[in-house]
Structure 1
Amino acid sequence: MSSTTLQWLSLVGTIWLQAIIGTNTNFPAYSSQLKQLLSISQVQLNNLAFASDAGKLFGWFSGLASIYLPLWLVLLTGSTLGLIGYGVQYLFITKQISSLSYWHVFLLTFLAGNSICWINTVCYVVTIRNFLSDRQVAVGITTSYQGLSAKIYANIVEAVSPHKKAKAFLFLNSLLPVIVGLVAAPLVREFDATSPKHTRVGFAVMFVITIFTGIYAVLSSLQFVTSKASSLDIMTGILVSLLLPLLVPLSVKIKELQDNRENLRIYHFTMEENNSEERVENEVKEGEVEEEIGIIEEVGVKLMLRRINFWLYFFVYYFGATVGLVYLNNLGQIAESRGCSNTSSLVSLSSSFGFFGRLMPSLMYYFYRGQCRISRPASLLAAMVPTSGAFFLLLNRTDLALYISTAVIGVCTGAITSIAVSTTTELFGTKHFSVNHNVVVANIPMGSFVFGYSAALVYRNQGHEHYEHGQCMGMECYRNTFIIWGSLCFFGTLLAFILHVSTRKFYSQIP
């Protein structure tokens, strides 16, 4: 099999991994049941959500491992950590293990959260290396599927075990990444080729497939669709859509076979001349794209931490995507406190819109590059503004406001997450990317603890004031929290504007 076909297969393998890697994103769908099964308070439940994010504090270990170890081993290490973290919790929930304390569950959740970093690092490294000249597009397509993780898991659980969600989610979280990891391990590796053939057509087809998948995910999350279609039908549809990207490497292989048959009828010197011209064209195109992308400087972690741009960028992410992720982590309790019973549908909706949010920056970059250019900091700024507004919209008590705000936060959080990969590359280079980006996303567990814990305290205080057993129902449970989160997002918007001004000279020089 040619290296070009294998490169496209590596992209498909990465898509599959990203689609099942977001095991922490489905936490809101079963958090209420887990709270009852473990007999814990809202603060303790929030600590478990923090533990999952806290695993990212040691994500830089996976970055170092990707430098010195084979990528397949890094991938399987991450899958194994997830198997242990979620698997032991499943055995405890099903009463196969009886002597497990709350802090054991906390540490297991931490371990499971760290497993995501290992798999994510492999996905980023493989995608960037195999599609160097189109890394923004390739990374955007693959990471968009991570936004579908909660949707995929929720659909499987609704079809298989709708009444025992906590047990079903923990079972899937432990086994699915291992199974997909074993399938994808031979595919997700670096292949020795300068630039894949038929790149533009291939990515155009990938975009069509990805957009179709996203539209299906959104429509199948809406109540008027779920009321008419069975859970099994919806699950089958989403799983089939994950197989559609295989059409690209399959088409490339068929095209290669056709070309080989034609080349048998052509003189040897003509073939050499055509191949030589093709190599020159590929080198020119690749050089043009590299010049267009640009890098401010190549620095390691120590020098990066001394840069003002790093701290601006770090806190933009902290007050933007991280606050959004904390909201999504608490979505189950937020919906319950507002009297919204259809939590799974809400989680699926946030996941589906997060999918489009991750895809949107790459889509715009791919089709509008050369016509107009928006810098990464300006893109971050554009995503921060509606996020802030969405939190203030949540002060409205209607279900419509809840759904709209959740969709907006899902889109913008996904967009910031996708833009951040390219921003880290452009600000601090590609050589140390695997370590540098894991340092950047270390802000997620910090924000998860600070923002999530404060929200849990407000919830507990309101619960003790109005209800027994610390359960809070009504708008007052999260009203002050939404005001604080919206204000922090607004402050992050100002920081994004400063970062945009600081880097404007560099981006203005890129054609």
Structure 2
Amino acid sequence: MARHWLGLIAAVWLQSINGTNSNFPAYSSELKRILSISQLQLNNLAFASDAGKLLGWISGVAAARLPLWLVLLIGSALGAAGYGVQFLFVAGKIHSLSYWHVFLLTVVAGNSICWINTVSYILAIRNFPLDRQIAIGISTSYVGLSAKIYTAAVAVAAAADPANRAKDFLLLNSVFPLIACLAAAPLTRVSDAGKSRRLVAGFVTLFVITVVTGGFAVATSLIPRAIPPAVVLGGISALLVLPLVTPAAEEMAEAVQDEESLRRGGLVDWGIEEEIEIEIEIRPLMMVRRGEFWVYYLVYLFGATLGLVYLNNLGQIAESRGSLGISSLVSLSSAFSFFGRLFPSLLDYFFSKSRQKISTAGAMGAMTAPMCGAFFLLVICKQEFALYTSTAVVGMCSGAITSISISATRELFGTVNFGVNHNILVSNIPIGSFLFGDFAALVYKKGRINGQENCVGGKCYQTTFFIWGCLCVLGTLLALLLHLKTNKLRTRR
């Protein structure tokens, strides 16, 4: 049983350092200066990181044919190359890179994230057949810690010379995932158990650790100057090691049950349950020919992806509305995204035996609906509280949809080709990033007065928020349609 838990702990470590693309704003200005490029070209570099997901299906194919430890090493090698060469360029060790060289390196670095994600998802899904959603939710919630971990590490490294921050971020982007993958590789073992039992003590322990870790990250983000960076980094590192007590907690619970069984002079009900799932092998080409896939694709596009685009533009949005709390907004969005990823798993765990259990498609719709209100609130209200409220809602809901979608892909199209199928789904992220992001940029540009560099006022994003709100409404309706479709399939089974 310890082997199952060690695989999940490996996924936690991998996810905690797999948000390297969130560090792009930290070194983007330096790339803009060295390459002498325009703001539009810089925006395209941000898109390039997401564009790497268009090739994410390759990692799924590899995971079906290669050992997971090798898939991890390939992913970390791609990241080390993509970010490492950019580090050498920014550090002045390489002088011959053009804009398109950097663009392609960013695509490679963005693709490396898919390889690590694929391994993490497979570990959670296959090692915990009866507790998949909570295993997925706990592990993926740690992605929200990535920006905090890298920021704290750079704050320690660049304490003597803040001018090196851009270089330090790129160096850590290339090194941290490689170190984590090497440490996690021996733990990436899959056990396809036909029977299992629901694991209570271990998940309760891990859930408490996760909540404490998220709370620590939020608290230290809200009061950054009160705590030395070295203390923050040390605290997060210790909390990342703490999940190793989870196997011991589960074994202690089993020992207590054994003792109770002996005291009663008989066997105790261990809650052994058999995974009842009709496993149909749905290949990628079969999947994309099915209508429910494209409905699902649009639900994600008008939900999680739209939320991601909003959060990527949060700095510009806050600046246009005259907000001075950009760092607080970023911390707020990160915190709510962290707990948003975790919340659906908790509900699924405690209500899994309910006959009225909502489908994953229905859950995605329930999380998309509040985003409609968040965008429309920004249209009608220009006050500061509206910006903070909407940011919290979008962060929480987009994080939740991301977590739910992993189970939704399995529920709709099975686990046999999950690695490829889910990476095909998330290809909508770069597409949405390009379409929604460029639309927002064009509206922003039209809102400038007398050729000013920046747009100021609610008008800068008012049309954008209205269109985004309408798309969320459409996404909610499509999720309802998909929910009704999946319920019919369940009834037939």
Normalising to structure 1: TM-score of the pair? 0.87
Q: Does the 8 Å contact 1:28/1:332 carry over to 2?
A: no
- 1:406 is aligned to 391
Write the mapping of 1:278-293 to structure 2, written as runs, cut at 5 A: 285-287=272-274, 290-291=275-276
CA gap of 1:231–1:131, structure 2 versus 1, over 3 A, is same
Aligned-partner SS, 1:226: coil
Aligned-partner SS, 1:286: strand
Between 1:29-38 and 1:75-84, the stretch displaced more is 29-38
Deviations 1:378-406 (A, max 9, x none): 11111011112222233443443322222
Question: How far apart in 2 are the matches of 1:296 and 1:311?
Answer: 21
- 1:352 is aligned to 335
Question: How far apart in 2 are the matches of 1:91 and 1:72?
Answer: 28
Deviations 1:480-509 (A, max 9, x none): 222222221121111112112222334568
- 2:204 is aligned to 204
Question: How far apart in 2 are the matches of 1:385 and 1:32?
Answer: 36
Q: Does the 8 Å contact 2:298/2:475 carry over to 1?
A: yes
Residue identity matched to 2:308: L
CA gap of 1:496–1:194, structure 2 versus 1, over 3 A, is closer
Deviation at 1:466, TM superposition (A): 3.8
Between 1:237-246 and 1:442-451, the stretch displaced more is 237-246
Write the mapping of 1:1-400 to structure 2, written as runs, cut at 5 A: 4-32=1-29, 34-36=31-33, 38-161=35-158, 163-164=162-163, 165-191=165-191, 199-222=199-222, 225-252=223-250, 285-287=272-274, 290-291=275-276, 294=277, 297-371=280-354, 372-395=356-379, 396-400=381-385
Deviation at 1:24, TM superposition (A): 1.2
Question: How far apart in 2 are the matches of 1:297 and 1:198?
Answer: 24
Deviation at 1:457, TM superposition (A): 2.6
- 1:438 is aligned to 423
Between 1:54-63 and 1:95-104, the stretch displaced more is 95-104
Q: Does the 8 Å contact 1:27/1:49 carry over to 2?
A: yes
Between 1:353-362 and 1:228-237, the stretch displaced more is 228-237
Match of 1:417 among 399, 402, 409: 402
CA gap of 1:285–1:68, structure 2 versus 1, over 3 A, is same
Deviation at 1:440, TM superposition (A): 0.9
Deviations 1:28-62 (A, max 9, x none): 45545554554433322221121111111111100
Question: How far apart in 2 are the matches of 1:36 and 1:177?
Answer: 27
Q: Does the 8 Å contact 1:28/1:328 carry over to 2?
A: no
CA gap of 1:250–1:303, structure 2 versus 1, over 3 A, is same
Between 1:86-95 and 1:21-30, the stretch displaced more is 21-30
Aligned CA RMSD, in angstroms, stands at: 2.8
Q: Does the 8 Å contact 1:149/1:351 carry over to 2?
A: no
Question: How far apart in 2 are the matches of 1:337 and 1:234?
Answer: 32
Question: How far apart in 1 are the matches of 2:488 and 2:248?
Answer: 43
Question: How far apart in 2 are the matches of 1:107 and 1:338?
Answer: 34
Question: How far apart in 1 are the matches of 2:243 and 2:331?
Answer: 22
Query: Relative contact order (C-alpha < 8 Å, sep 6+): which is higher?
Result: 1
Normalising to structure 2: TM-score of the pair? 0.90
Q: Does the 8 Å contact 1:42/1:456 carry over to 2?
A: no
Deviation at 1:118, TM superposition (A): 0.6
CA gap of 1:256–1:297, structure 2 versus 1, over 3 A, is closer
Q: Which runs of 5+ in 1 are unaligned?
A: 267-272
Q: Does the 8 Å contact 2:337/2:398 carry over to 1?
A: yes
Number of aligned residue pairs: give it.
Answer: 484
CA gap of 1:101–1:448, structure 2 versus 1, over 3 A, is same
CA gap of 1:391–1:296, structure 2 versus 1, over 3 A, is farther
Question: How far apart in 2 are the matches of 1:296 and 1:410?
Answer: 34
Q: Does the 8 Å contact 2:447/2:460 carry over to 1?
A: yes
